[in-house]
Amino acid sequence: MNITDRFLKYVSFHTTSDENTNMIPSTPGQMIFAQYLVNELKSIGLQEVELDKNGYIMASLPANTDKSVPVIGFIAHMDTSPEMSGKHIKPRIIKNYDGNDILLNEEEVIVLETATYPEIQQYTGQDIIVTDGTTLLGADDKAGIAEIVTAMEHLIAHPEIKHGKIRIAFTPDEEIGQGADHFDVKKFAAEWAYTMDGSQIGELEYENFNAASAKVSFRGLNVHPGYAKHKMVNSIRIAHQFASMLPRHETPEHTEGYEGFYHLIASEGSVEKSTLNYIIRDHDRDRFERRKKEMQHLVNKINAEFGAGTAEIEIRDQYYNMLEKVEPVLHIVHLAEEAMKEIGITPHIKPIRGGTDGARLSFEGLPCPNIFAGGHNFHGRFEYLPIPSMEKATELIVKIAQKLEEQS
């Protein structure tokens, strides 16, 4: 199976994760996809293929060299973002993209506009996979899985390419910050790994956000509106007041690079009770801690104005900046960078404005820089994937394994 057909098969599985189910994995579709992958990995000849009860897949490609080569790993995640539907994805291949706007959905007049997404024009002349405008695509991170599987298949078919032992893993629930919760680093038994979870071709990342989630709850009191004076407490209005107290321009749509933010991702409310769900992000650990304290400070101000217990906040740390753990072993980044250059890719080293499973795994003893998977506009209807980028990512995995053996 070629990599395009493999990817198109993978996105047919509905694997949207859901932080509210209290299940592991959080949704049944992830386990269904995992079982499919286990059968595929066995069929192409990988060994030590295992799927545990939590939905984590691990497998091995044995070394084919007598050299003592460090065991390395490649990791990708199976779930797609809950920010938009990943069910009934209808991908379409735009052949020889002409550089113009793409009509994704004629009936609903959904257009991927180059004025909004000008970076797509760098792929003029290439074949690009797009959505029908009603779902996300799932390149985050099914492109990464397709690349790893295809690279392993290629190495098995070409024993003349020498390499050490390679471990691969596919994880559930990365998109809801739980992808590393049950990852057994000791069992994985690699010295380091690479997550194939970046975006455009050439991306190589070993810095990411420090991340937390925050749920702010507001308690109100409902009274007939005709007799509500000095009695009603409208939790919706209080929630709006809280949201307006956060810095207006410290949001995703106003920040870039190393700039952090507060991001309101969901809200729900009635007069009696309202909730706001935020994510908090910053590359700098001190600023990250200050952001969490600021959220608590604003809750305290609400309670001072409206009464104790009006507002409550639950903050949960999700992951930290992997730079702290990767910096002492930067040779693993240099290996990937050199491999890129050897296959004609210009490395684009930058901080991740997000996170990967590798961020948490780095703090658990498995340093994990992040490599591009090739997609763009993750988590939304305008997600797309240039096929040559996916093919290059596959070639890069092979080259990293080959270079490491040569240097050992």
Measured from the Cβ of residue 280, the count of other Cβ atoms closer than 10 Å reads 23
Where in the sequence is the domain holding 376, given as residue range(s)?
A: 3-208+321-407
The rounded distance, in Å, linking the Cα atoms of 270 and 186 is 47
Domain boundary among 270, 288, 319: 319
- Across the chain, mean pLDDT equals 96
What's the pLDDT at 177? 82
CB atoms within 10 A of CB 202: 20
Are 288 and 357 within one domain?
A: no
Cβ 277 vs Cβ 214: under 8 Å: yes
d(CA 271, CA 277): 17
Give yes or no: residues 184 and 215 share one domain: no
Q: Who contacts 85 (Cβ-Cβ below 8 Å, separation ≥6)? A: 16, 134, 135, 136
Query: Contact at 8 Å (CB) between 335 and 381?
Result: no
Domain with residue 31: its CATH number is 3.40.630.10
Same domain, 230 and 169: no
* Residue 16: predicted pLDDT: 97
User: Does residue 202 carry a pLDDT above 90?
Assistant: yes
Whether residue 344 sits in one domain with residue 310: no
pLDDT reported for residue 70: 98
Q: What is the pLDDT of residue 357?
A: 83
- Record the pTM: 0.86
- Given pLDDT bands bounded at 50, 70 and 90, which one contains residue 145? very high
178 φ, ψ to 5°?
A: -120, 10
174 is catalytic: yes
Average pLDDT over residues 258-286: 96
Same domain, 21 and 152: yes
Please give the Cα distance from 401 to 70 (Å, whole number).
Answer: 10
360 or 36, higher pLDDT: 36
Please indicate, yes or no, whether residues 272 and 399 belong to a single structural domain of this protein. no
Alpha carbons within 13 angstroms on the beta-carbon side of residue 110 total 14
Question: Mean pLDDT throughout 112-132?
Answer: 98
Residues 27 and 63 in one domain: yes
Check: CB of residue 99 under 8 Å from CB of residue 114: yes
Same domain assignment for residues 252 and 380: no
Chosen domain end from 283, 301, 319: 319
Residues 59 and 136 in one domain: yes
- The answer, yes or no, to whether the previous bond of 172 is cis (omega within 30 of 0) is no
- Catalytic residue, chosen from 141, 174, 205, 282, is 174
Please state the domain count of the chain. 2
- CATH number of the CATH domain containing 256: 3.30.70.360
372 and 333 Cβ atoms separated by less than 8 Å? no
| pLDDT of residue 24 exceeding 90 | yes
> Residue 63 contacts by C-beta under 8 Å, 6 or more apart in sequence?
69, 163, 164, 165
pLDDT above 70: percentage of residues in the chain: 100
| Angle between helix 3-10 and helix 387-407 axes, rounded to 10 deg | 110
pLDDT at 355 over 80: no
Q: Which of 40, 79, 173, 395 is catalytic?
A: 79
Do 14 and 109 lie in one domain? The reply is: yes
Contact between 212 and 279 (Cβ < 8 Å): yes
Summarize pLDDT for 273-311 with one digit per residue, the tens: 999 999 999 999 999 999 999 999 999 999 999 999 999
Considering the domain architecture, whether residues 239 and 386 belong to the same structural domain is answered as: no
pLDDT band with cut points at 50, 70 and 90 for residue 352: confident
Two tokens, residue 367: 């340093």
Pair 43, 166 in one domain: yes
Is 205 among the catalytic positions? no
Of 293, 319, 345, the residue at which a domain comes to its end is 319
